[in-house]
Chains A and B, each alone.
Chain A
Amino acid sequence: MFNDFINQFWPATIDGLAFGSIYALIALGYTMVYGVLRLINFAHSEVFMIGTFGAMFVPFVFGITSPLTGIALVGMILGMILAGVLASAGTAVTLERIAYRPLRNRGASRLAALISAIGASIFLQELFALLVIPRVFDRPNQGRIQMGLPRLMEREELFSIFGHSVRVDQVLVIVAAVGMMIALDMLVNRTKIGRGIRATAQNPEAAVLMGVDINKIVRMTFLIGGGMAGVAGALYLISYENTNYYIGFLFGIKAFTAAVLGGIGNLRGALLGGVALGLVENYGAIFSGSDWKHVISFTILVLVLMFRPTGILGESLQQARA
């Protein structure tokens, strides 16, 4: 068994980092919205799902069926990420406008917003299964069948670690995710909008008195969180080359877990939680059957929360100095 761990350590680490990066990008959306509104946006999983389809739309429109190289490949990847971001951010902002803001304006309880989120989630899933996939992607009666992406990027080995190859798509996912998170960290900590977000997270009433437009800040929060989920969706699609109307479900649960693990409301916590969850899942699966990996990761989540109820890093978006 120990031998298995030695043999599979590096591949499991690379896969864990790549998948954990995707969890982390999605977790950012949960954690930002929670930080600002104290709301778990359960429809965020569908924001990710729509991001994968947004990214899918680009090669679909161009009718690409064989791998690309050079400038065309770079352009395609950027185009897919952009399309994913547009689709996801658009969905997130629309969701906020339709499903959350009316409730907030009427002073409804957070529980009502939670039900609204679950409703929106089911609505979006069925919308894609029944209408968008059959009509937009021209797959009549196949709305619930997994949709594949043709290979766009050859799976070339970029370098190897101790004899285990690291592929170009895995590096792309990790590098892009880390880049996005650095950009987000700077946005929140260095810009005026970021200051508004932090102020609202700390004390909404005081923020209003100081002249912060809460509705604008909330919209920006959904926009940025949605955009991150869109990047995650595009990266996932490029790497795993498939998606379906239901794909957000497991990712949503995992990303939410990652957010809680890192400390919900804490951006760096979401990053740490995502990567930790990705790694733990893959390491755990080495010792047990792969079907036990959820059991292992959630056991660890419970253990962490027993000793650190606020997650590994705690809720620091509120405590940050302005």
Chain B
Amino acid sequence: MALTLGLAACGNDGGTKPADGGSSAAASGTVKIGFMGDLTGSNAGIVIPPRNGAKLAIDEYNKTNPPVKIELVPYDSQGDASKAVALAQQAIKSDKIVGLVGPAFSGESAQVAPVLEEAEIPSVTASATNTNLAANGWKFWHRILPNDSVQGPGIADFIAGAAAAKTVFVIDDKSEYGKPLADAVRTQLGTKAVKVTNDSLDPAESDFSSVVNKVAASKPDAIFFGGYYAAGGNLLKQLRDKGVKDAKFFSGDGSLDKGLIDGAGAANAEGALVGCPCYIATPDVADAKVKTFADSYKAAYNTDPAIYAAEGYDAATVFVEAVKAGNTTTDKINEFLKTVDLGGVSKHVKFGANGEVEAKDIYIYQVKGGAITLLGKAAEAKLG
């Protein structure tokens, strides 16, 4: 408590200094920014970290005691598009948010973005990677990480390159996220003289034995699963239990969560490789800005930053910078997003005309000793 008061007092002193005080057209007060995603549902593990990241950015800003504070309003869609749309309407009509971080997943984004577009509310998603989202001509929609058309080929290049796989079994979960990602991997592998076998599964099920039997019969060098970690962990466990032990297991960002290891069991998950357009700050990182972020995150939540935490932080920071520059209406904030050009924690943040961020790096992570570790950028990483 004393610390908070102290910080607040410091902020008060600092608050009189900035020159932007006069340029702020809106009166002092509070603006609301929403965060929407699966906060308590079955894939909440990959949404809680960006929520924490976003909250950290907002909390840091509010501690400086600015003339206009920001309130982060959580909207728990549980990843369900119909719930997400209802929540978006509530956010627009009764909460009157001026911006939204999210929605977290691609399926719900496809439904919510048109609603936000009509109400002219700017949004920045920190995790929805479906490629088609950017093709709708939405003016208020932004994405702070590369999409699946970058992620899929990046992972495929790694599978055929560094992992040197000649036969690959590609499985998808038929979702708005998993299917296109797996298709992108299939297409890219097809250009590389790699033999690809396909199957799909229903993530609502818990028995994947029919998929597992097909994989066991085809004896691939590598397996790629396009889907979320809840199904990914069960699939990996059942594969290893069925004696599919040598094939390297790959997945995308939806499976980059400790839940993959918990679901599969540490022994089964060992060595599994996960690609992601996200950057997870490890505790031993050298970059000063990233290190500060990782330390404050750990101090605030008593855990190391996980998937999309940095992206969530950056997405919220974009809104913070907009408000700092005196933009408190949705139009002005959106104008600000068009021109934003700042060095974030995860990457350099600059949006293209279609709302996509310009930086395009894909990272590869590997499960080692029951933990997710960073191998490096997909184009450069080597398998040990």
A residues neighboring B (CB under 8 Å): 4, 7-8, 11-12, 15, 19, 141-146, 148, 150-151, 155, 165, 167, 240-242, 244, 246-247, 249-250, 281-282, 285-286, 289-291, 293-294
Contacts and interface: CB of A to CB of B under 8 A. Distances in A.
A240 B207 contact: yes
Contacts of B18: none
A242 B206 contact: yes
A145 B241 contact: no
A250 B204 contact: yes
A10 to B, nearest CB: 9
B200 to A, nearest CB: 4
B208 A290 contact: yes
Contacts of B254: none
A241 B237 contact: yes
A286 B263 contact: no
B2 interface: no
B209 A282 contact: yes
20 contacts: A4-B214, A4-B217, A8-B216, A11-B209, A12-B210, A12-B213, A15-B210, A142-B40, A142-B44, A143-B40, A145-B41, A145-B42, A148-B265, A151-B265, A240-B206, A240-B234, A242-B234, A242-B263, A246-B42, A291-B200
B216 A146 contact: no
What band does the interface of chain B fall in when counting residues whose beta carbon is under 8 Å from A?
A: 35 or more
A8 B218 CA distance: 10
Given A144-B42, A145-B259, A146-B263, A11 B202 contact: no
B122 interface: no
A286 B210 contact: yes
B22 interface: no
B71 interface: no
Nearest to A239: B207
A285 B207 CA distance: 12
A281 B210 contact: yes
B45 interface: yes
B241 A19 contact: no
Contacts of A8: 213-214, 216-217
Interface string B83-114: 00000000000000000000000000000000
B202 A294 contact: yes
- Which of A11, A142, A167, A281 has its CB near the most chain B CB atoms (within 10 A)? A11
Contacts of A4: 214, 217
A11 B207 contact: no
Contacts of B204: 249-250
A290 B201 contact: yes
Interface of B: 39-42, 44-45, 78, 174, 198-202, 204-211, 213-214, 216-217, 230, 233-234, 237, 241-243, 259, 262-263, 265
Contacts of A294: 202
Contacts of B263: 146, 148, 242
- Give the 5 A-B residue pairs with the shortest CB-CB distance, closest first: A285-B210, A15-B209, A291-B200, A7-B217, A11-B213
B226 to A, nearest CB: 13
A282 B210 contact: yes
Contacts of A167: 241
A77 B67 CA distance: 63
Contacts of B199: 289-291
A151 B234 CA distance: 13
Contact of A165 (B211, B230, B237, B243): B243
A171 B201 CA distance: 25
A272 B217 CA distance: 28
A286 B265 CA distance: 27
A186 B213 CA distance: 36
Given A144-B41, A244-B42, A15 B200 contact: no
A242 B235 CA distance: 12
Contacts of B230: 145-146
Given A148-B262, A148-B265, A289-B198, 4 more contacts: A145-B41, A167-B241, A290-B201, A291-B201
Contacts of B78: 144
Contacts of A289: 198-200
Given A146-B230, A241-B237, A290-B210, A250 B44 contact: no
Nearest to A148: B262
Contacts of B40: 141-144
B166 to A, nearest CB: 20
B365 to A, nearest CB: 21
Nearest to B242: A11
Contacts of A151: 265
B174 A291 contact: yes
- Which of A11, A246, A286, A291 has its CB near the most chain B CB atoms (within 10 A)? A291
A249 B42 CA distance: 15
